[in-house]
Amino acid sequence: MDVRRRPPRPPVATNTNAAFSGNHHHLHHRKKSPTPKASDALPLPLYLTNAIFFTLFFSVAYFLLHRWRDKIRSHTPLHVVTLSELGAIVSLIASFIYLLGFFGIGFVQSFIARASIHDSWDLDDDAVPVDAAYIPLPKIMDPPPPQLISSEEDEDIVKSVVNGTVPSYALESQLENCHRAALIRREAVQRLTGRSLVGLPLEGFDYESILGQCCEMPVGYVQIPVGIAGPLLMNGCEYSVPMATTEGCLVASTNRGCKAIYASGGATGILLRDGMTRAPVVRFPTAKRAADLKFFLENPLNFDTLSVFFNKSSRFARLQGIQCSIAGRNLYMRFSCSTGDAMGMNMVSKGVQNVLDYLQTDFPDMDVIGISGNFCSDKKPAAVNWIEGRGKSVVCEAIISEEVVRKVLKTTVPALVELNMLKNLAGSAVAGALGGFNAHAANIVSAVFIATGQDPAQNIESSHCITMMEAVNDGKDLHVSVTMPAIEVGTVGGGTQLASQSACLNLLGVKGASKESPGSNARLLATIVAGSVLAGELSLMSAIAAGQLVKSHMKYNRSSRDISNLAS
């Protein structure tokens, strides 16, 4: 954040309004000082000086060229010069230096004029009435925060940031101390805004760990409580699921779902697909040329060659396929590849760039418009992700016994089946939902994402989910499943390297990259996310079916403290 503010114009003292009115006519008729120009430093008028030096330059150049031609004809060494030639060389250099500076005079004049406009109150203080010129800074609305700056050196740096001399974004590189940079930036922001940041923690965080990878220009960090739901019994293993959230009832509700799944023998999670996508957009002179490239990319005979160039980007990147779509003379190419234990956006982007460089040889008329053409599609709802999948595609199921539905979930199998049909299926269809055929998958996905260091913005496509509920075993038990085609997670890179998020990954047993089977940690994390969503869906739907939703939120999601007393 490069925040710069011009210092306010100092007010001119005035005794009374009458005295100011008496001098009003004089103030408006006072002659302004002329704006200084760079050419004022010349002894002669600018046009005359320019004419002299132009004539001198070309005359001396002609004289020297004529003399050097004669020396070449007479075989006289060029380095032997007479006094007249020496004077001509000096004159040529002097006139050249002047002419070089002449072309910069206009720039210097505009620079000085611009500076004089910005500082006009210093040159012509009395030309504007005091009341119209002086605009006071807004008053500090919060009580002054405690002083954290202790040394005079840091105080000087804070003042430099406030007045714009030192850019805020450059503090880390100049100070070579990330914590000190955050402290100084924080104080500068408080002074610039007149608002206190008391309550936003500064201490207790490793600012070195986020430099160049997670967050720029930090002034502190936000505390989000982390709760544990579980154990979630899935595929024969138990997982304690960390959830970072500020929504009351969410962890408790997911925990109840985990209890119901555990009591019924556990859930089963299946990974259907694993491939991150990136789709550049290119343009050709004609639609026919765009179609030629489409046919080339979709030809199986060319796949191995394209894979060689794509896979050079990483030892984990392996090209899986290319899906093309044409819009006029524009071609969208959706590359899909495996990315190991990384979420993989940077990896697939580098591979795509390698392929584009290769294609440029055979298709020189191809104009690359953008490395991403939104056919990927990243961080936005899109049917292509819902249908084709992106990241990890997972389906998770469980059979909940009639007894558990009645005793743990406090409802019945027929009520859940009917509610799911009318709410998650028919209701979402009436709303025109895209991938939103569920009760609240985004709640669980976001909480697990934040706790484990995933990109929260990718919750959009990662929360694509359809929840199905059916009565089985002669209508006594409940078969419940969630199908999620685009869970985008990783266990290396980005926020997964931070201490708190790394601890949550370690709790799940998926910290870092798997050495035995690259990519298995990220795939397991995606399966755990789907299993957690299954638990959350099961519990919330049961609360709605039993008419307990409002009652539960009023009990667990509302503060019992007297807010009026806290405010006073």
User: Quick one: how far is CA 98 from the chain centroid?
Assistant: 49
* DSSP E strand stretches across 339-384: 367-370
Q: Which of 412, 404, 471 is nearest to 263 (CA)?
A: 404
∠ at Cα 455 (461, 368), nearest 5°?
A: 70
Residue with tokens 């380095």: 79
Please report, to the nearest 10 degrees, the dihedral formed by the alpha carbons of residues 66, 68, 73, 75 taken in order.
160
- Give me the active site residues, please: 247, 379, 455, 553
Say if residues 398 and 427 touch (Cβ distance below 8 Å).
Answer: no
Q: Which of the 8 DSSP states describes residue 30?
A: P
- DSSP per-residue string spanning 164-198: TSS-GGGHHHHHS-HHHHHHHHHHHHHHHH----T
Rounded Cα distance between 419 and 423, Å, is: 6
Residue with tokens 């910005």: 118
Query: Cis (ω within 30 of 0) for the bond into 225?
Result: no
Residue 3 burial class via C-beta count within 10 angstroms: exposed 0-12, middle 13-18, buried 19 and up: middle
Rounded Cα distance between 73 and 67, Å, is: 10
Rounded Cα distance between 483 and 84, Å, is: 92
- Give the H or E element holding residue 226: strand 226-234
Rounded Cα distance between 532 and 451, Å, is: 13
Rounded Cα distance between 6 and 299, Å, is: 62
Q: Which of 112, 132, 131 is nearest to 123 (CA)?
A: 112
Say if residues 482 and 441 touch (Cβ distance below 8 Å).
Answer: yes
Give the end-to-end CA distance of the chain in Å, rounded to a whole number: 35
Task: Mark 502-522 as b/e (b = at least 16 C-beta within 10 Å).
Answer: bebbebbebbebbeeebbbbb
∠ at Cα 254 (532, 232), nearest 5°?
A: 50
* DSSP E strand stretches across 235-307: 237-244, 268-278, 281-283
Non-local (6+) Cβ contacts of 293 within 8 A are: 282, 284, 324, 331, 359, 363, 366
- Here the tokens at position 240 are 């304690």
Rounded Cα distance between 46 and 267, Å, is: 88
Helices (H), 226-286: 250-263
